[in-house]
Amino acid sequence: MAPLRIVTANVNGIRAAQRRGGLEWLAAAEADVICLQEVRATTEQLAEVLAGSPLESYEVVHAPAATLGRAGVAILSALPVKAVRIGTGTQPFDSQGRWIEADLAHGRKKITVVSAYFHSGEAGTVKQDEKMAHLAEIDLRMRELAGSPDVVICGDLNIAHREVDIKNWKGNRDKAGFLPEERAYLDAWFEGGWTDLGRVLGGEGPGPYTWWSWRGRGFDTDGGWRIDYALASKGIAKRAHTATVGKAATYAERWSDHAPLIVDFD
């Protein structure tokens, strides 16, 4: 089987990323599959952005949010797309632009790639209740997909798994994104057969982080969070050999508040 490269990136708005040079960066990565989160565009707007860009040759599948300017996930594939599924199977979450699956032909095999964008939440509010309800729905789908040999779930999960995944973990113990009940889902998934490629291939940590606030000096001091993941089922996890965070060299060169995660498979 041929090598495979998957890139996942929260673009923080595809049109903003375009203006900042993000499309050129993604094209230069020479990925077979690109998973995007927070596209924040209609399907027509996404097509307009990609037309004439270095990414225009990719086949595109997109799950926009019903609320304009919010969320949205997409998969750009240089491999033939054989099937597409949007959402985890229940309303109202399926219309929020947070989960899209694509079955892709990779040689004689089929691989399933997911682009996911989890709720950010806010501890002690209705937003956190919605996040936890969505995590429960995702958990059911994760259990279903775990039995398939070649599945890669990519995206902004908005959860830092362990203390090494967040610079200021002590100051965020009671904040959304690092709550015990959120992290417990990651524990269950990793114990249930999913491999966290960013951690397994990226070293013991701390970091490498994938998100830094636009505000303050967090980017320059590497005061970040590792919340962007590539989770692999057992079969394809064995083929993964490199996972790299594409952090910009300087603050001025950032094109999103997230950095892409690049994963290579034999």
CB atoms within 10 A of CB 167: 21
Q: What percent of the chain has pLDDT over 90?
A: 93
Q: What is the pLDDT of residue 91?
A: 65
Would you tell me the crossing angle of helices 180-191 and 126-145 to the nearest 10 degrees?
0
- Give mean pLDDT, residues 154-179: 97
Q: What is the pLDDT of residue 219?
A: 96
Confidence of residue 2 (pLDDT cuts 50, 70, 90): confident
Confidence of residue 1 (pLDDT cuts 50, 70, 90): low
Retrieve residue 172's tokens. 């965020």
CATH number of the domain where residue 41 is located: 3.60.10.10
Q: What percent of the chain has pLDDT over 70?
A: 99
Q: Is 156 a catalytic residue?
A: yes
Q: What is the pLDDT of residue 89?
A: 77
Residues 78-107 pLDDT 10s: 999 999 999 997 667 888 999 999 999 998
C-alpha–C-alpha distance, residues 148 and 54, integer Å: 33
- Give mean pLDDT, residues 207-217: 96
Q: What is the pLDDT of residue 124?
A: 95
**Are the C-beta atoms of residues 60 and 46 closer than 8 Å to each other?**
yes
Q: H or E stretch including 151?
A: strand 151-156
Confidence of residue 68 (pLDDT cuts 50, 70, 90): confident
Among residues 246, 250, 253, 224, the alpha carbon closest in space to that of 8 is found at: 246
Retrieve residue 125's tokens. 């509010």
End-to-end CA distance of the chain: 8
Q: What is the pLDDT of residue 253?
A: 96
Q: What is the pLDDT of residue 25?
A: 98
Confidence of residue 240 (pLDDT cuts 50, 70, 90): very high
- Is residue 43 predicted with pLDDT exceeding 90? yes
**Are the C-beta atoms of residues 80 and 136 closer than 8 Å to each other?**
no
**Are the C-beta atoms of residues 207 and 162 closer than 8 Å to each other?**
no
Average pLDDT of the chain to the nearest whole number: 96
Give the residues across from 263 on adjacent strands.
Answer: 6, 243
Domain hosting 130: range is 4-265
- Give mean pLDDT, residues 72-81: 98
- Total domains in the chain come to 1
Give the residues across from 75 on adjacent strands.
Answer: 35, 61
pTM, entire model: 0.96
10 Å CB burial of residue 252 (0-12, 13-18, 19+) is: exposed
Q: Which residue in 156, 165, 196, 257 is the catalytic one?
A: 156
